[in-house]
Amino acid sequence: PDAEEIPTGSLREEYEHLVDEVRRHRTAYYQNDAPEISDAEYDALYRRLEDLEAMHPEIVANDSPTQEVGGEVSEAFAPVTHLARMYSLEDVFSVEELRTWYQRTAASIENIAPGTTPQWLAEVKIDGLAVNLLYREGRLVRAATRGDGTTGEDVTHNVMTIGDIPQQLSGSGWPEEMEVRGEVYISTADFRAFNEQRVEAGLAPFANPRNSAAGSLRQKDPAETAKRPLKMFVHGIGAHTGLDAQSQHATYELLASWGLPVSPYTSLLTALEGTATKPGILEYIEQYGQQRHGLVHEIDGIVVKVDSFALQRALGHTSRVPRWAAAYKYPPEEVHTKLLSIEVNV
């Protein structure tokens, strides 16, 4: 039905109900590390909110969840202001949506730098918890969760217990100051073994690796975090002084040379569609879709990024996401019906 056919009262009610639902599920997920619905159900709710706002821009609240980065900051931790803001990612849920994003981004790049053939990085989307590491002169001085993107939670002591994360960078030529962003996760194998131990000890097993990684990192007692099999892969940088790198992939090489854990699954590609000899982004998606459960950790999709930092800067950000990256989400493997109870009638 057309927008005009919906009585304003019921539209507003539906809208406020959806906003409340999204907020409630965000609190369960980010604050309590205990979601009540699956990610696919949450994504569907969120998409419905975005669609409703697109059809009725006049109802969009300034503090709508679509205008903010999702996390919250618990009072159990000291707040940390990130030097550079942390963002979320624009989600696409089909190859068609990815194609639209790709064509739009390629067209913007053509406007910014006519004649350039941009390179694209395809990465797996690690299903973990975003963490921001601050290094000064090669030394880890602070670590924080993403929180609302501006302010995160101070988890420095907990992060210091993670073996993958160097407290002192190796090699040489480190920048004076650098924020390194990445995902803390529990590997599939460690998760299985850890749960078996819990069951043997008469404890309830954890539901999934993502939430136990988040719960494990956000322990009040670092000694408790130290008992959990946490690992990390880095996938970006924030503020930096004295870092000489022109692209995302060159930065990964530098970070790896300093002993930081960089994902082995990343590919540098030149197009959405491959040729007989060169795979493209779509082939990458297909390949990792098939091996989805055979990687070291769980993934919830693929991230595509424009590689050049100059182009990233020129493309910029919205209040919530960079315009130079997108997250393709694989179709959900289980289907739930809970959403039916809050169908929005538009």
Tell which positions 305-334 bind ligand NAD, by CB under 6 A.
Answer: 327
Residue 278 marked in a binding site: no
Residue with the two structure tokens 């669609």: 51
Q: Does 88 bind ligand NAD (CB under 6 A)?
A: yes
The residue among 11 and 217 lying less far from ligand NAD, judged by its C-beta, is: 217
Tell which positions 238-297 bind ligand NAD, by CB under 6 A.
Answer: none
Q: Are 99 and 55 in contact (CB under 8 A)?
A: no
Q: Does 214 bind ligand NAD (CB under 6 A)?
A: no
d(C-alpha 147, C-alpha 82), whole Å? 10
Q: How far is CA 25 from CA 90, 221, 249, 340, in A?
A: 19, 26, 35, 16
Q: Does 235 bind ligand NAD (CB under 6 A)?
A: yes
- Tokens found for residue 267: 């590919």
- Tokens found for residue 123: 């990465």
* CA distance between the termini of the chain: 6
Tell which positions 120-179 bind ligand NAD, by CB under 6 A.
Answer: 123, 125-126, 130, 146
- Tokens found for residue 56: 């009725």
What single-letter DSSP state applies at residue 308?
B
Question: Whole-number minimum distance, CB 5 to ligand NAD, in Å?
Answer: 31
Stretch that binds ligand NAD, among 39-47, 153-161, 213-221, 238-246 (CB under 6 A): 39-47
Q: Decide if 125 is catalytic.
A: yes
Q: Considering only residues 11, 14, 15, 25, which one is a binding residue for ligand NAD as defined by CB under 6 A? A: 25
Burial 156-185 (b: 16+ CB within 10 A, else e): bebbebbeebbeebeeeebbebbbbbbbbb
Number of residues that bind ligand NAD (CB under 6 A): 25
φ, ψ of residue 111 in degrees (nearest 5): -70, -40
Q: Which residues are annotated as a binding site for NAD(+)?
A: 39-43, 88-89, 123, 146, 183, 305, 329
Binding site for ligand NAD (CB under 6 A): 25-26, 28-29, 35, 37-39, 42-43, 70, 88-89, 91, 123, 125-126, 130, 146, 183, 235-236, 300, 303, 327
